[in-house]
Chain A
């Protein structure tokens, strides 16, 4: 018997006769049982994926009825008639970043390199490398290259390198069906609207940033000027007026696609129908509404 085994043996049994390992096992079972009860309870309160009615996240039956019968007074818009969704065709993106600048102008996002509601990542596989090198427009080298924090450009750092594969990936809020950010918000300042968009009520947000940490996609940030959370809402003020989000409007290559899933001929319905689409980090269980076509394995 080695010294190591001796130590383990003494540690495993104490004077009460219950081994430490056994006690930990009991404790684990207790935690699991509690968790089961809690999750059963929360299922009952959320319940939307078990019901025929499509309740929005954290919405009860009465609230669902209210949303149906007495929707918010938005001119010429009924949120029960739409189910917005968004598509990104990675193979078309040229990394021009017009979307970033348009978004910041449209939504008055804080004007520095690190605050944005949408951005584009550059993935580069250098020759012989199995892993991509990733940079974003907020990378200090890119900021230095453009010489301004209000304009965005990728520098041409791989101009003279040998590259196996490279591509640009636009990122923005996934408007999840089960948004982690909404779940953690302590004030009800962020919520899932029945038309599919996760919105922020800046009157009720006090900038605690739980949501910033909860989001698996890193799309949230704190607007330090307003002291509230900041994230893409698919330009809710535009889509409720029948317009496209600003980034879709300005995308010169059509790599951003937006539309209503309730309309079978909308760009997004056709996009999903005609492409093999994926979502990011499906293992997180957030059920994103942002679909990617042509996204590489490294993209997450």
Chain B
């Protein structure tokens, strides 16, 4: 064979050997096992861990809330049998609003893979709340809270008529959905939603009768509800539902204070409604305050998100500072600064397991108060105390 042919063939042979060994080296041994792909790939893909754990996984710890949900319309298969013979679950389960549980609870508090959502609002547990996680938002604004509900219930072209839908401004104005609806079981049952019980009763509260009941309160809170001392809260012009809720909380010891619990336990349910109605209609009076502190407080009020709840306009519209949007939340404008300071400090001390004198736990207020320094509290109190209360 001519020399040049031999050379050519040997070059080809060498290239072939290189090609074959490269193929042997680079090709995964499981390639072509089941087809033109790596046979190990399906098992690798299947080995990923699920992030959505399903409502059943919430049930073991959150029994009460799970029971509430499963009895309610958000669990009910409202549209089952719309197509005969098909049984599919219907209604949002836990992770629709709360987002995927992920590693919760073994490794994380309710961990929000996309962004913090509902936990700061709805969970009154001593979890590490999202407020303590850097970069997480402290609170949902009223718009965001309502947005959770509006994702499914906003009246929109294209939504099937079987879906309950509302035009939010006409339906609720500035009020939050949760004032009337329990998101876990949103059909309003007046006997089961405490705020609704309060609101319903509030309508029958009689201010004139309440005035006679208020005689017992006048020693500390003043005859019209402008109190005798800075440490004691003004009641004049306060939200009626807030007042009756507070009295009921004192009566049941859900909120404890030696004097108030004793006073409230002497009141009947109708006394509570009547006296609340009486104080709510009285006019309030804003005390004067240190202007420097008030200015600093005004900035802090805006920065801390107080306006989400304690402003007549919410965050969406400019409103009166310290005048709450909801009947169930207190007005702060014109309140005594000394009382406001002690209340914020009590919230700071608050712990879900110990709700005694000098400490108040509230899922939202405790988290907010923990972000405030002592001077922040002084400033906020001075600002709110000097704000116009009506």
B83 & A201 in contact (Cβ 8 Å cutoff): no
Residues of chain B within 8 A (CB-CB) of A168 are 158-159
- Chain B: residues with Cβ within 8 Å of the partner, total of 56
Closest-CB distance, B296 to chain A (whole angstroms): 30
CA distance A166 to B115 in the complex (A): 31
A267 & B88 in contact (Cβ 8 Å cutoff): yes
Residues of chain B within 8 A (CB-CB) of A167 are 158
A146 to B, closest residue via Cβ: B147
Is B37 in contact with chain A by the CB < 8 A criterion? yes
A106 & B100 in contact (Cβ 8 Å cutoff): yes
Chain-B contact segment, one of A22-30, A185-193, A219-227, A279-287: A185-193
- Chain A: residues with Cβ within 8 Å of the partner, total of 79
A293 & B46 in contact (Cβ 8 Å cutoff): no
Number of A-B contacts (CB under 8 A): 193
CA distance A236 to B159 in the complex (A): 30
B79 & A254 in contact (Cβ 8 Å cutoff): yes
Is B62 in contact with chain A by the CB < 8 A criterion? no
Residues of chain A within 8 A (CB-CB) of B41 are 191, 199, 201, 203-204
A249 & B54 in contact (Cβ 8 Å cutoff): yes
Q: A94-B152, A249-B93 are in contact. Are A67 and B50 (CB under 8 A)?
A: no
Q: Which residues of A194-211 are within 8 A (CB) of B?
A: 194, 199-201, 203-204
Is A89 in contact with chain B by the CB < 8 A criterion? yes
Residues of chain B within 8 A (CB-CB) of A59 are 34-35
Pick from B36, B44, B155, B157: contact of A191, CB under 8 Å: B36
Is B10 in contact with chain A by the CB < 8 A criterion? no
B contact residues vs A (CB 8 Å cutoff):
31-52, 54, 77, 79-80, 82-93, 95-96, 99-100, 113-115, 147, 151-152, 154-160, 163
The 3 A-B pairs at the shortest CB distance, nearest first, are namely A166-B158, A237-B48, A254-B88
- Chain A to chain B contacts (Cβ below 8 Å), 25 pairs: A67-B34, A72-B34, A72-B42, A72-B43, A74-B46, A95-B158, A102-B96, A102-B99, A104-B114, A105-B51, A105-B113, A122-B158, A151-B114, A156-B154, A159-B157, A189-B37, A191-B36, A200-B45, A201-B37, A201-B44, A246-B50, A250-B96, A253-B163, A257-B88, A274-B85
